[in-house]
Chain A
Amino acid sequence: MRTEGAVVPEAGFRSYYGRPVIKPPVWHEPHMPTYLYLGGMSGVSSSMAVMARLTGNPRLARSARLAAAVGASAGAALLAAELGRPERFLNMLRVFKPTSPMSVGSWILAAQSGLSAAAASADLAELLPAAKDMALLATAGDAALLATGLTGPLTATYTAVLIADTAVPAWHEAYRELPFLFAGSAMAAAGAVAMLATPRAQAGPARAVAALGAALETAAGTVMERRLGMVGRPYREGRAGRLMGTARLLTAGGGLLAAVAGRSRVLTALSGLALTAGSLCTRFGVLEAGRASAADPAYTIVPQRERLDAAP
């Protein structure tokens, strides 16, 4: 019936007229993948803003604070628009359910968007002439900023749990690598935005974050596809495969460029744009791979049948 470790194991599997067993994710483009990008960008921007504040790099801190606030707010708006009943988006905060990554994530995102908005507003308020002596405001802003040091990394990585906690084989089986893939993608994205929005002399750490992120994303993606085997095929084939391949090239190229981007404005622009596009391609590619994985019954049936047959 089944060929062991074959490239095309579907030959032997049985199904109901080739119909999918599970339902594909209903999440739309561009909302869902753009949110994944924005959430990641916002989260790591917060981490960068905290570190920039702590190491005394106010120019980079300002860019990162703004990026964090804009990313979280725009992301939350996209999520609300994605709902089947957008007017009921506050129902997300009706309960706190540890068994639901979307519930946990809603609370994380609520905290992240609120805190990052406070941190950014306080920073911008310093620009107002009347705010010169408002030390309290600055302190409150810094406190909010420090808190985003906690919510930021969670915002950047919980989305991996969100999609892995489904019956979609290409997502669920990748639950080990996806958080690192998303973490790397988020670092590359945040580093890119910060290096584009900060004078080069102050953007060194942003370039380092971008380069580290690109390396992490590339490594996690490679390990993921290798370990998943047959279930990972949607990441390599069709539209998802093209998106993931493009992402790989853009991310690796942008990451390498980030290492030398401090030398010129052109290199910075090239690196920042390549990394941004790469991170977006990764997110769109992962959604598309999930859809392809759900649409083909082989990915659901073959591993389950092998598991059953292997059981005593």
Chain B
Amino acid sequence: MAERMGFFTDTSVCIGCKACEVACKEWNQLPDDGFVFEATSYDNTGMLGASTWRHVAFIEQSRPVQVPSDPEAEDSVDRWLMSSDVCKHCTHAACLDVCPTGALFRTEFGTVVVQSDICNGCGYCVPACPYGVIDRREGDGRAWKCTMCYDRQLGGLEPACAKACPTDSIQFGPLDELRERAEERVARLRADGHEEARLYGESPSDGVGGAGAFFLLLDEPEVYGLPPDPVATTRDLPAMWRWAGAAALSVAGAVALAFLNGGPGLKSGTSLNGGTFLTGGAGPKGRAFLKSRAFLKGRALLKGRALLKGGTR
């Protein structure tokens, strides 16, 4: 496997030009996603989706600011935050984990890509993603998301968005290098007085094992529409199967109980041995079956289920 490649999106130098959105659309030949004016900001794509693989968020903020030349004056100044969001290409990618067809796979660059010739549009990856990135495209039926320009990478080129970014807000490169560069950048911003500068998604110890595309943010992640503490849902999968296994055993047990006790509302007899219902209904044939090899096998099978359960974890 080649070196793991990634994106470092430094939002402190993003100017909101949307060249990344356009370059992505052009290169990947994505259909338009509606020319919607959101009436909340200059954002007109809203969020990442099946046909929006880069999304530039605009946040207009007001905060009281001290003007150095006049300590008495307190002014309300607008701060604009702009950030180009993208698929995080998680180390532990929930979309990849839950994909039942193997259409989603991990490339030699450590990125996560959908094979459109395999995807059958089951839609499972869509609610599995903790960032709300991947989506099913209406009319097409398949799931789509950023490939980190897998085709360009294979040709030795950087992804279209990074290539088009005029301020190098989007940086592409080996993930380890990017992480070092990001640490230096955030340290410098803090030294310059931007205490709110922070990295998001850079830590391999977070809920997704670290993102392949991480960010430098100037406010809390949720302000940019990002989840503050995302977790790959499959982390709890072994526990989920254990609870489901217990429920499955309960079903088998409860059904067996219902039959062996005869059930309520019986006209005659409520127990297997005492009631005329079962002995009458079953006859010698049924009673013989209870002692037969097939029955004993079945009982052993039921007991063996507990072991099988352990195997599915």
Select which of B123, B251, B267, B305 is within 8 A of A183 by beta carbon. Answer: B251
The answer to the question of A102 belonging to the interface, with a C-beta cut-off of 8 Å to chain B, is yes
In the complex, the answer to whether A180 meets B250 with C-beta atoms within 8 Å is yes
In the complex, the answer to whether B132 meets A20 with C-beta atoms within 8 Å is yes
Which residues in window 160-212 of A have CB below 8 A to B?
Answer: 160-162, 164-168, 171-172, 175-176, 178-180, 182-183, 186-187, 201-209, 211-212
In the complex, the answer to whether B247 meets A175 with C-beta atoms within 8 Å is no
The answer to the question of A103 belonging to the interface, with a C-beta cut-off of 8 Å to chain B, is yes
Among A23-31, A119-127, A227-235, the one that faces the other chain is A23-31
The answer to the question of B6 belonging to the interface, with a C-beta cut-off of 8 Å to chain A, is no
Residues of A within 8 A of B2 (CB): none
Residues of A within 8 A of B142 (CB): 84-85
In the complex, the answer to whether B282 meets A153 with C-beta atoms within 8 Å is no
Q: Mark A4-29, 1 if CB is under 8 A from B, else 0.
A: 00000000011111011111111100
Highest count of chain A CB atoms <10 Å: which of B40, B237, B244: B244
Residues of A within 8 A of B252 (CB): 47, 149, 152-153
Q: State A204–B271 Cα separation when bound (angstroms).
A: 11
In the complex, the answer to whether B132 meets A21 with C-beta atoms within 8 Å is yes
Among A67-75, A90-98, A238-246, A277-285, the one that faces the other chain is A90-98
Question: A51-B259, A83-B121, A85-B121 known; A211 and B264 CB under 8 Å?
Answer: yes
Q: Mark A35-69, 1 if CB is under 8 A from B, else 0.
A: 00000000110011011111111110000000000
In the complex, the answer to whether A207 meets B40 with C-beta atoms within 8 Å is no
Residues of B within 8 A of A150 (CB): 301-302, 305, 308
Chain A contact residues: helix, strand, loop or mixed: helix
Question: A19-B47, A183-B248 known; A205 and B263 CB under 8 Å?
Answer: yes
Q: State A168–B224 Cα separation when bound (angstroms).
A: 19
Q: How far is the CB of A266 from chain B (nearest CB, A)?
A: 13
Number of B residues near A (Cβ < 8 Å) is: 99
Q: State A89–B248 Cα separation when bound (angstroms).
A: 26
Highest count of chain A CB atoms <10 Å: which of B118, B120, B230, B287: B120
Residues of B within 8 A of A290 (CB): 127
Q: Mark A136-162, 1 if CB is under 8 A from B, else 0.
A: 000100110010011011101110111
Q: How far is the CB of B260 from chain A (nearest CB, A)?
A: 7
The answer to the question of A3 belonging to the interface, with a C-beta cut-off of 8 Å to chain B, is no
Highest count of chain A CB atoms <10 Å: which of B230, B254, B282: B254
Select which of B102, B120, B247 is within 8 A of A88 by beta carbon. Answer: B120
Q: State A139–B287 Cα separation when bound (angstroms).
A: 17
Which residues in window 226-259 of B have CB below 8 A to A?
Answer: 226-230, 233-234, 236-237, 239-241, 243-252, 254-259
Residues of A within 8 A of B143 (CB): 84
Residues of B within 8 A of A56 (CB): 278, 281-283, 285-287, 289-290
Chain B residues at the A interface, C-beta cutoff of 8 Å: 38, 40-41, 46-47, 49, 57, 59, 94, 97-103, 118-124, 126-136, 140-143, 220, 222-230, 233-234, 236-237, 239-241, 243-252, 254-267, 272, 277-278, 281-283, 285-287, 289-290, 294-295, 297-298, 301-302, 305, 308, 312
| 20 A-B residue pairs with CB within 8 Å | A23-B49, A23-B127, A23-B129, A26-B126, A54-B295, A55-B290, A56-B282, A84-B121, A84-B123, A149-B252, A164-B233, A179-B243, A179-B247, A179-B248, A201-B277, A208-B257, A208-B261, A208-B264, A260-B264, A262-B265
